Amino acid sequence: VVVGAGFGGIAAVRALRRAPVEVILVDRQNYHLFSPLLYQVAAALLDPSAIAQPVRALLRRIRNARMWMAEVTHVDLERKVLSTRQGEIEYDYLLLAAGSVTNYFGNQSAAELALPLKGLPDALAVRNRILTNFEQARWTDDTVERRRLLTVAIVGGGPTGVEFAGSLSELVRNVLRKDFPGMDLGEVRVLLLEAGDSLLTAFAPRLRRAAEGALRRKGVEIRYRALVQQVAPESLELASGERMAVGAVVWTAGVRAPQLGAGLGLPVDRAGAVQVEPTLQLPGHPEVFVVGDMAALEQDGRRLPMLAPVAQQEARRAARNIVALEGGRPPQPFRYFDKGIMAAIGRNSGLAQVGPFGLSGFIGWAGWLFVHLLLIVSLRNRLFVFLGWTWDYLFLDRPVRLILRASQKARPEKFHHDGGDVEH
């Protein structure tokens, strides 16, 4: 049984396609999400269906795998049984790849009022809030209130915060400016609040400076040592005591492993990820493998980062280890092959770092576009993403800027979970 149809889960199922095993893939959603482009849904650049793929479609040609949609609530390691609201699922081998949840670092007000950017419902909520605020701002003659509505605070200067800030600023400057003739751009603020004193700490200092320059040119206000202490419905307060009136707080400050891992009752790290053996097995339970964001593993003295390629490579190793165990052979340790990291900061500006080499500016951006197009799982989605990008680039236009809310009545009771990948 594979839990999670994200980067790890799908890679594992694919790696097991010719193995003499039967695979059950369990996910609480019926789609696989390409999270690296999630911020582009929030910034009204891409349609949700361009970055999500139905899991059943991905499994169509994989004869030994079936999908069961359910939220796994508990793992009984002794009985080898998973609990879900729909019923129990027994396993011989278990591969846990349930990803991560938004980390509010214990800030209760942020958990309640900030908008996370983790799942598709979150991205749509951010898009709705920002577009609604712009509409609302049209109705008010009160300058202070209008400025509040037009202020977006993005919390966390990691890749998601930086990429979203760049793309949001372009939405405002290139697209909404035309939608709202007469709008004073000086009243719009995109704030990027970083608790530390640097953005994108995984990148080399030269690339970080390039990112900062690109964001500032796009009109993003970057604030360092800006630790958010309290989020209120219409404002936020920093640890320094400074208060800011805001129309939306988008929380991109980090992720941590889900409760499912901690619930196993085995040692977890600071981010709540389960400590695994080098073979990705759970200590004392050789039939259970944990991969991706849920797994804590060190390589050369450093914890492997929570990244899609780590999840995919771990999943392939775990799948091969399951086949080895079935064949009576010993499982092999995992070794991560780092192909580099990238980030895009809007039009014509991106970063790429491969070992000691770094690229920024237009070349970094072109490289980012190319690599991300290749990584998208289906041809259809690749085409739709390419079309969305080209349209935006050529016409400075984002046709998916719809304010779209699902009716509350549409929620099926049994499959309902907390609306995204959020855990408070």
By the criterion CB under 6 A, which residues form the site for ligand FAD?
Answer: 3-9, 26-29, 35-36, 38-39, 71-72, 97-99, 117-118, 159-160, 258, 260, 292-294, 306-309, 311
Q: How far is the CB of 420 from ligand FAD (least distance, A)?
A: 9
The nearer residue to ligand FAD, 5 or 345, going by C-beta atoms, is: 5
With beta carbons less than 8 A apart as the criterion, state whether 124 and 197 touch: no
How far is 130 from 124, CA to CA, in rounded Å? Answer: 10
Nearest alpha-carbon partner for 165 in 177, 156, 176: 156
Kindly state the tokens that stand for 386: 């390419």
Q: How far is the CB of 227 from ligand FAD (least distance, A)?
A: 21
The nearer residue to ligand FAD, 159 or 331, going by C-beta atoms, is: 159
Kindly state the tokens that stand for 197: 């004193």
With beta carbons less than 8 A apart as the criterion, state whether 182 and 144 touch: no
The nearer residue to ligand FAD, 184 or 418, going by C-beta atoms, is: 418
With beta carbons less than 8 A apart as the criterion, state whether 107 and 231 touch: yes
How far is 328 from 195, CA to CA, in rounded Å? Answer: 50
How far is 197 from 380, CA to CA, in rounded Å? Answer: 41
The nearer residue to ligand FAD, 125 or 150, going by C-beta atoms, is: 125
Q: How far is the CB of 118 from ligand FAD (least distance, A)?
A: 5
Distances (CA, A) of 82 to 76, 255, 326, 329, 388: 6, 24, 21, 26, 40
Residues in the chain: 424
Judged by DSSP in three states, 300 sits in coil
Judged by DSSP in three states, 402 sits in coil
How far is 382 from 387, CA to CA, in rounded Å? Answer: 9
Q: How far is the CB of 253 from ligand FAD (least distance, A)?
A: 12
The nearer residue to ligand FAD, 21 or 24, going by C-beta atoms, is: 24
Q: How far is the CB of 104 from ligand FAD (least distance, A)?
A: 14
Q: How far is the CB of 186 from ligand FAD (least distance, A)?
A: 30
Residue number with the shortest CB distance to ligand FAD? 6
How far is 33 from 30, CA to CA, in rounded Å? Answer: 10
Catalytic residue among 90, 135, 145, 163: 163
The nearer residue to ligand FAD, 28 or 147, going by C-beta atoms, is: 28
The nearer residue to ligand FAD, 199 or 244, going by C-beta atoms, is: 199
Q: How far is the CB of 360 from ligand FAD (least distance, A)?
A: 16
How far is 202 from 179, CA to CA, in rounded Å? Answer: 37
Beta bridge partners of 102: 255
Kindly state the tokens that stand for 413: 């009771």
How far is 292 from 40, CA to CA, in rounded Å? Answer: 23
Q: How far is the CB of 121 from ligand FAD (least distance, A)?
A: 11
Kindly state the tokens that stand for 398: 């984002």
Nearest alpha-carbon partner for 292 in 277, 274, 311, 308: 311
The nearer residue to ligand FAD, 204 or 341, going by C-beta atoms, is: 341
How far is 231 from 234, CA to CA, in rounded Å? Answer: 8
Does 212 participate in catalysis according to the annotation? no
Catalytically active residues are 163
